[in-house]
Every structure is written in structure tokens, then in C-alpha cells.
Chain A
Amino acid sequence: MSPATGRLLRTVFLTLFCIVWVAPLFYTLRVALADPIYAQSGTPPLLAAITFENFAGVFANAEFMGALLNSLIIGVASTILVLIIAVPAAFVCATFEFRGRANLEAWILSTRMLPAFVVVLPYFILFRSVQLLDTMLVLIIMHTVISLALAFFMLRSFFADIPKETLEAANLEGAGHLTTLLRVALPQVRGGLIATAILVFIFSWNELAFSFTLAGGAVKTGPVAILGFIAFQNVQVAGLMAAANLLIAPIAILLIVAQKGLIRGLSFGAVRA
């Protein structure tokens, strides 16, 4: 097989794979952009006329738009908290060797392995007793906690890439650890910091289990609100898909912006792609 044939076969294979993989996303967009009449039966013809009626309907839906705003506020607040907590810890673990570090990191990693509902029940009872259920605060707290391990390992791998000499030089000049972190280390990992923040925000935006057990009445996030669409007997399929598209559109943009740090983050720094 000549190299040219090989390249052609690979391109055909990859194109087919990507078509199959993008088709479901295309499908949601097709349904969302079709006349609701078609969507009653489920699938509009491929070349049906395009209408923005469904999106206009979702934009006019105050409850759903309010839920997206909730998601935005919770996402931003928990991202800031995660960075404040995880950055110093990741810096220390990446740049210093101390007794118990490996055990500490193993423990941090293990917190990421827990299924949500294993921890949700005690929190439900706890937050109910202090009357925090169904508030923004409870979701900000939980979304902070669930992303800590991820942010820690992602940041640690970025800090570990900083040349040791740079940090030692700062230390010789008399800078304390925190000064070194803020003045020397952080500017060097700016890209990694942004990628981490984006990933943490995405995790908060996408989260369902906590959002609908610990809140979901007065305070709905985007994913919880969209489930409300199907709770009724007559599901408006076209409107539902328009809402789904609106929910994923900001995330799609963030993913493309952050794609460099994505794999590193999701593999907890094990893969430096």
C-alpha cells in the first residue's frame, strides 16, 4: 500500500467517524431550527425550511433564561472559590517535597472517584437542618467541592513545568512562598490557569445530580430547568432542542478555547497533550 493510498484511507475513515460523531449534534440543531409542526413527529426532513421561532420561544421563556443566569452565577462563583483554594495547594505540592505528599495526593484524587449520590444524602440532611436547601449558596459550595481535585491536579501539572531555577531565584531574593506564587509562578502558568478555570466552570454548568437534589425548586440551574420541559405530557420537541442548543452553545465555545488544557485536566495531569 503506497503512502498516498494510506492517507486517503485514513482520511475516509476519519471523515466517516466524525460524520457519525457529529450527526447527533447536527440533529438537535436541525430539529431546533425546523417548524414545530415537523417536530411533532420527531424528525423534520433534512432540507426543511429554517426558522428561528423555537429559539425565540426559549428566549421568551423567563424561567429557563433565569435558570441559565443562575448557572452563570453559580459557575463563576464556584470557579473563583476553586481557584482560591486549589492554586496554593497545587503550588506547594508541585514545587516542594514533603513527607506524606504522595498519600495526600492519592487522597485528593480519590475524592474525585465518589459517585455523587454517595455523598448527597448526608449533605441533603445537613443542609435541610440549616435551611440552606434550594439556595444558590448550597450549589456554589457543592460545585466548588466537586471540582477541587480536578483543578488541583491540573494546576499541579502546570506548576511542575516551571523551571526550578526560576522559583529558587525568587526564594534567594527573599520572597516568601506566597509572594513567589503570586509574582513569579502564576504569571508563568497564565494559560494553564485560564484552562483550569474554564474546565471548572464547565463542570459546574453541566452538573445535574447535586443541582436537582439539593436545589431545583426556587433555584433551578440550566440542566434542571431543561428537564422541567419534559415533565409535562405534551413535550414540545422543537422547543426542547432549541433549549438544549442554548444550554450547550456557550460550553462549545469555551471547549474550543480551552482545548489545549482539556485532556491534561481530564486525565488529572497524567497526559500532557
Chain B
Amino acid sequence: MVGASSSAARGPGEPGGTASGRRKSGAGARRGMLAPMVVVLAALTIYPFLANLWYSIRAVDLTQPFKQGFVGLRNFTSVVTGSGFLHSLTVTIVFVVVALALQLVIGFLVALALWRPLRGSRIFTTLLILPFGLTPVALALAWRLLFNPSGGGINVLLAHFGLPTLDWTASDALALPSLIIVDTWQWTPFVVLILLAGLMALPKEAFEAAAVEGAGFWRSVFYVALPLLRPLILVVVLFRGIDLFRTFDTFWVITAGGPGNATETLNVLLYRTAFQNLNFGRAAALALIMLVIVLVVSQPITKRIVSPRERR
């Protein structure tokens, strides 16, 4: 499919065609070059959407293969009224909001420290790319070990300084904060590098004017830099927000949604419904609900990323 459409695109555009033929074939060639992308992505989005829709109104329960058929909206009502849904929604929202706030605040402070020339800043920025690029499963395994209440690195360190040790991922209360720590560790450097790029691109004149008026460093950060950075901060918020919503590896490896269901996000709930309870009908309904959440929340992001080019 891929090869066919690109060779079809090549033919008429090749040198030697008449001028008018070339102009007419331009649009065709462009369409041919876009087609593979569009077709493959349509398969990614449209097929699962329709299939989810189909399964969500039917009873598809692999543990009860003989009870199949149309059930109307019963899958949706049983998802929404199920005991797990509201809990998972709450866990997901807390995780997204708290982790995002931490990453933005810490990320902005570190970006500020790197803003003006500093010896060794290249080493810092190189170190910073490691956490968010390295295999999440491997990093999550490391954190699982670090959080281990008996003999894990964090408690060993706390005990060494005579501080009380904690149960971390083994306790209901600390499991979610522990996972927020992991994600903040992993993704704050990404926020740092984006905000740093934004700071570097700011016009010098604005700060010189502020300095002339006698504004100190922090005043000019708050009244000059932050307002100018607002579009970029919004991009970070929306991108990180969506990715936090999608986070699965860390949860699955470190707590698997536990203890109990203390860290069961919508993603983990969906995985359990589909692949542990094998209730595909209900899982499809939940998937569609999550899809709606993502589409509603991601609308502003897509507009913002795509439109800047039009202003140029």
C-alpha cells in the first residue's frame, strides 16, 4: 500500500512532463504523499472507535461466552455506577493536578537558574534529558526498589539520618504521593528544558526596560517573563496533562493499582476490566468515556500547536 501510492505519486511529477501536466499533477502528487499517513492514522482512530462503539452496546464477556447480544446502554450505566469508576476518576484527577503543579513550579525554578549563562550548564542540561527518555519500565522497577519499606534505598537513607521511615507504596495514604514523586522525577526535566527554551527566546529589551524602572530580578520574572511565557506554559500544561492522564507503566510496575485499589487510575481500571475480568463490553464503554474526556481536554492543545504556523 505504501509503496504503491508513492510510486504512483512519482510518475507524473518526474521531469520531462509538459508544464501544464506538471502543474495539474502537483495536487495529485501531494495527495499521494499524504495518503499513506492519512490511511494508517484513520485505521488507528476510526476502526477502534467504531469497534468500541459496537462492543460497548453488547455483552462481550469472555468468561460467559454464551451470554452475548445487544444490551443497550447497560455497559455504560454499570461502568459509571460501578464502585470503581468514581474512585478511579478521583485518583486520576488528583494524580494529574498535583503532579502537574509540582512539575511546573520546580521546572520553572530550575529553568530560571539555568537561564543566564553559567559554567557547566551544558552538563546540567545533558543530565536532565535522561529521566524522561529512558525506558519507563526500567525506571519504575528502580523506584519500586527504592520505595521498598524494608531495605529500600529511601528508607535506608532516612534511617541513616535518624529520620522516621515510611511505608511508601505499601500504604494506602502514601501510595499515590509516591507515584506522583516518580512522575515528577521523570518529567520535571522535560518541563525545565521547554521553559528554558522559552526563556532564552524572550526579547532582552523587555527586561532592560524593567531594570531601568528599578525592578528587581523576581519582580521582572513575575511581571515580565511569566506573562510572555504564558502561551508556552499552556502548551506544557496541556501536553503534560494528557500524558499524565495516559500514564500506565509506572502504575502497573510499582503498585499495579494497589494497595487494594488506592492507585487504580482509569487506565488501570480499564486494563483490569478488559484483561483480568475479560469483560470486553464494559471495557469498551469505559474506553469511550475516556476517549470523550481526552478529546474534550485536548481540544485547546491541538488548536494551539497547529495554528502558530498560520500566523507566520
Interface residues of chain A, those whose CB is within 8 Å of chain B, are 7, 10-11, 13-14, 17-18, 21-22, 24-25, 27-28, 31, 41-43, 81, 84-86, 88-89, 91-93, 96, 98, 102, 104-111, 113-126, 144-145, 148-149, 152-153, 160, 173-179, 181, 202, 205-206, 208-209, 213, 222-223, 226-227, 230, 237, 240-241, 244-245, 247-248, 251-252, 255-256, 259, 262-263, 266-273
Contact = CB atoms under 8 A, between A and B. Distances in A.
B272 to A, nearest CB: 10
B146 A27 contact: yes
A17 B110 contact: yes
Contact of A271 (B124, B194, B275, B301): B194
B29 A177 contact: yes
A222 to B, nearest CB: 7
5 contacts: A24-B139, A111-B41, A174-B15, A178-B13, A178-B29
Contacts of A120: 274
Interface string B1-38: 01000100110111111000010011101100110111
Which of A21, A181, A237 gathers most chain B CB within 10 Å? A21
Interface stretch (B69-77, B168-176, B303-311): B303-311
How large, as a class, is the contact surface on chain B?
35 or more
Given A10-B116, A209-B249, A251-B134, 10 more contacts: A10-B113, A89-B37, A113-B294, A114-B246, A117-B267, A177-B26, A178-B6, A178-B29, A179-B14, A273-B194
A21 B128 contact: yes
B223 interface: no
Contacts, number: 310
B283 A230 contact: no
Contacts of B139: 24, 244, 248
Nearest to B133: A255
Contact of B271 (A7, A117, A160): A117
Contacts of B132: 266
Contact of A273 (B37, B148, B193): B193
B131 interface: yes
Main secondary structure of the interface of A (DSSP, over half): helix
A179 B274 contact: no
Interface in B34-56: 34, 36-38, 40-41, 43-45, 47-48, 51-52, 55
Given A24-B146, A256-B126, A84 B197 contact: no
A62 to B, nearest CB: 20
Contacts of B197: 263, 271-273
B112 to A, nearest CB: 9
Interface stretch (B79-87, B95-103, B202-210, B284-292): B284-292
A103 to B, nearest CB: 9
Nearest to B245: A115
A240 B143 CA distance: 12
Contacts of A88: 6, 9, 33-34, 36-37
A176 B37 contact: no
